[in-house]
């Protein structure tokens, strides 16, 4: 189980430009952080750095006693702008594959589909979904395969008010169960979260 996130003195660089430096963040089990900042400040890059996808210019990212390689392979979910769903595949195919890939079972996929009300859409192709439905399909992975740390990039933006509230409840439940969330947001998160403004 992943129970700590420790970011110390972090600096990131993208395409020759220093995004930020000296960034500090500590999260314990059950806590969330909301990243704010203008476009291009490096919110997405920070999420990708925590996921181990981009290299660090300086500083450290640690997960308590957990080996970072193991943390990133087994304990972290990343839901970005680009959700990796293929337009020509059906909702069921995509949900089942990503559930299995991230360590869930077909039963947990079914449960997640119900929670996000995707069950009637399961046989549709992904390209027929609306933006909100498509986001729900991407978010369904979070419930389909239990992983402790959720990295969410603008998770709420395509959702309507009703679904924002319902996903807020799911996030609160994840935190109550000892999970952690780091989310890049423009609007405030519907859950208590440490605010972290990213700027150069």
Half-sphere exposure of 53 (CA within 13 A, CB side): 12
9: contact with another protein by CB under 8 A: no
Contact call for residue 136 and another protein (CB under 8 A): no
101 binds another protein (CB under 8 A): yes
> Could you say which of 86, 114, 127, 194 contacts another protein (CB under 8 A)?
86
Q: In 3-state terms, the chain is what percent helix, strand and coil (to 5)?
A: 35, 30, 35
Site for another protein in 39-58 (CB under 8 A): 48, 51-55
146 sits near another protein (criterion: CB under 8 A) = no
- Partners of 125 in the beta sheet? 90
Pick the stretch among 12-20, 114-122, 158-166, 181-189 that binds another protein (CB under 8 A): 12-20
CA distance 82 to 79: 8
Question: Minimum CB separation from another protein for residue 19, in Å?
Answer: 12
Q: What's the closest the beta carbon of residue 57 comes to another protein, in angstroms?
A: 11
Q: By CB under 8 A, which span of 27-35, 101-109, 171-179, 181-189 interacts with another protein?
A: 101-109
Judged on CB neighbours under 10 Å (0-12, 13-18, 19+), 170 is middle
Q: Does 123 bind another protein (CB under 8 A)?
A: no
Specify whether the CB–CB gap between 95 and 112 falls below 8 A: yes
78 binds another protein (CB under 8 A): yes
- The sign of the CA dihedral 80, 33, 22, 70 is negative
Nearer to another protein, 83 or 168 (CB): 83
83: contact with another protein by CB under 8 A? yes
Beta strands in the chain (DSSP E): 4-14, 17-28, 32-36, 58-62, 76-79, 149-153, 180-184, 194-197
- Measured CA to CA, the distance from residue 146 to residue 130 in angstroms comes to 26
Minimal distance in Å, beta carbon 160 to another protein?
23
- From 79-87, 113-121, 165-173, 191-199, give the range in contact with another protein by CB under 8 A: 79-87
């Amino acid at each position: 189980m992943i129970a700590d996130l420790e970011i110390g003195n972090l600096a990131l660089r993208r395409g020759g430009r220093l995004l930020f430096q000296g960034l500090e963040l500590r999260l314990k089990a059950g806590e969330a952080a909301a990243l704010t900042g203008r476009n291009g400040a490096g919110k997405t890059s920070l999420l990708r750095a925590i996921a181990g996808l981009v290299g660090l210019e300086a500083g450290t990212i640690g997960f308590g006693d957990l080996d970072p390689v193991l943390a990133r392979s087994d304990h972290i979910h990343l839901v970005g702008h680009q959700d990796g769903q293929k337009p020509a595949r059906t909702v069921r195919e995509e949900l089942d594959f990503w559930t299995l890939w991230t360590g869930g079972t077909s039963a947990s996929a079914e449960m997640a589909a119900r929670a996000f009300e995707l069950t009637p859409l399961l046989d549709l192709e992904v390209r027929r979904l609306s933006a909100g439905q498509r986001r729900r399909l991407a978010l369904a992975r979070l419930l389909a395969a239990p992983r402790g740390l959720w990295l969410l990039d603008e998770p709420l933006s395509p959702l309507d008010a009703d679904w924002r509230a319902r996903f807020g409840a799911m996030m609160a439940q994840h935190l109550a169960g000892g999970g952690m969330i780091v989310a890049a947001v423009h609007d405030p998160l519907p859950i208590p979260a440490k605010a972290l403004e990213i700027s150069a």
